[in-house]
Amino acid sequence: MTKTWRPATQLVHGGTLRSQFGETSEAIYLTQGFVYETSEAAEARFKGETEGFIYARYGSPTNDMFEKRMCMLEGAEDARATASGMAAVTAAILCQLKAGDHIVAARALFGSCRWVVETLAPKYGIECTLVDGRFLENWENAIQPNTKVFFLESPTNPTLEVIDIAGVARLANQVGAKVVVDNVFATPLFQKPLELGAHIVVYSATKHIDGQGRCLGGVVLSDKAWIDEHLHDYFRHTGPAMSPFNAWTLLKGIETLPLRVKQQTQNAAAIADFLAENGKVAKVIYPGRKDHPQADIIAKQMTGGSTLVAFEMKGGKEAAFALQNALEITKISNNLGDSKSLITHPATTTHKNLTDEARAELGISPGTVRYSAGIEDTDDLLEDFARALKQVIG
């Protein structure tokens, strides 16, 4: 029955496990362990002969509900909920690799993701090549006999470049490599990497899935065979498990995901159009606009715009800072996907550790600003931006 549900229904009812009390809202099972009626029952559980939980590091009921709901939304067979988005990314990549293997990754990655492939993986003998992921020939040219994983996010942070996921998946399949997609910026509503041919999808649930700034979380989704072969034991024995309390917070958050993302997208689109007409703004990059440089790929693989807007102030860092400081409703923060509108200056915050050259490669200039739309009233946001831009000199 659940297969035919549409996302808004899945996200309210999917995966619910009701206890004997028949509670309406999902219960929080804050327990480390589980007890068995008999020694024989414990033996059978450990042998895998009976269904059930063993230890909360391996899995527990509230986490199970969150994982099942995410699987339904993503169209994945299985998932593991992790303590943060970075725990999900690190597990998804490292669990399937060994010394001597090679990763090809897009260079436009969330900062910590880039650290995992560029700095951490080589310490364990796993090589990595970073490419400009916008062009398929770059992926193809980077392939080596030992290439096992392709890793990308699309749209990218912070400049909202887009990567042809189906194209990358075709190349990966030719050499038997797995494609891992960090789908945070698109959200599970606007892009389905598994349908496009990717093998593994990861999320920072900290972003739109919580969407209300409360807790960290992550999730890795794939087919059952890959999870059984690669992630299952890694997850059990290295311990990136999510707290059941956070799983519950995220379960409740995800119920309203479609409502929030819809309003955020409407707000982002309105702000993008408004900024594009403003004389103090040099350029706007928004996946929902026809003037996005890769509008053709967006039309092929995304079903909605974005809750984020990237733009460049003509007056550089000074103008970017002045705008951020003058905004009242939109708060300065490096987070994104929140119900509150947030704005960040990547060059001095999220991407400050990159060299000037690396930033330039990613299209991050001193005037680049990233806006994450909240769920506020559209007109209030537009008025706030109009007022703040007037205060920017030049």
Ligand X SMILES: *Cc1c(COP(=O)(O)O)cnc(C)c1O
Residues lying near ligand X in the complex (CB under 6 A): 84-86, 89, 110, 112-113, 153, 157, 182, 184-185, 204, 206-207, 216, 218
Residue with tokens 């706030």: 384
Structure tokens given for 106: 């897009």
Complex with ligand X: residue 157 or 365, whichever CB lies closer = 157
Complex with ligand X: residue 82 or 147, whichever CB lies closer = 82
DSSP labels, 68-93: HHHHHHHT-SEEEEESSHHHHHHHHH
Distance in Å, CB of 290 to ligand X, minimum: 25
Complex with ligand X: residue 67 or 384, whichever CB lies closer = 67
Query: Which residue minimizes CB distance to ligand X?
Result: 85
**Among 346, 388, 386, CA closest to 369:** 346
**Among 224, 77, 98, CA closest to 149:** 98
Q: Cβ distance 300 to 179 under 8 Å? A: no
Distance in Å, CB of 109 to ligand X, minimum: 8
Please state, in angstroms and rounded to a whole number, the distance separating the CA atoms of residues 340 and 331. Answer: 8
30: which DSSP letter?
-
Structure tokens given for 115: 């650290």
Distance in Å, CB of 240 to ligand X, minimum: 10
Complex with ligand X: residue 322 or 341, whichever CB lies closer = 341
Q: Cβ distance 14 to 72 under 8 Å? A: yes
> How many angstroms separate the Cα of 291 from the Cα of each of 68, 288, 296, 371?
38, 9, 10, 18
Distance in Å, CB of 112 to ligand X, minimum: 6
Complex with ligand X: residue 215 or 271, whichever CB lies closer = 215
Structure tokens given for 183: 């789908």
Contacts of 101 (CB under 8 A, 6+ apart): 126, 127, 146, 147, 148, 149
Distance in Å, CB of 193 to ligand X, minimum: 13
Q: Give how far the C-alpha of residue 330 lies from the chain's centroid of Cα atoms, to the nearest Å.
A: 22
Distance in Å, CB of 87 to ligand X, minimum: 7
Distance in Å, CB of 44 to ligand X, minimum: 37
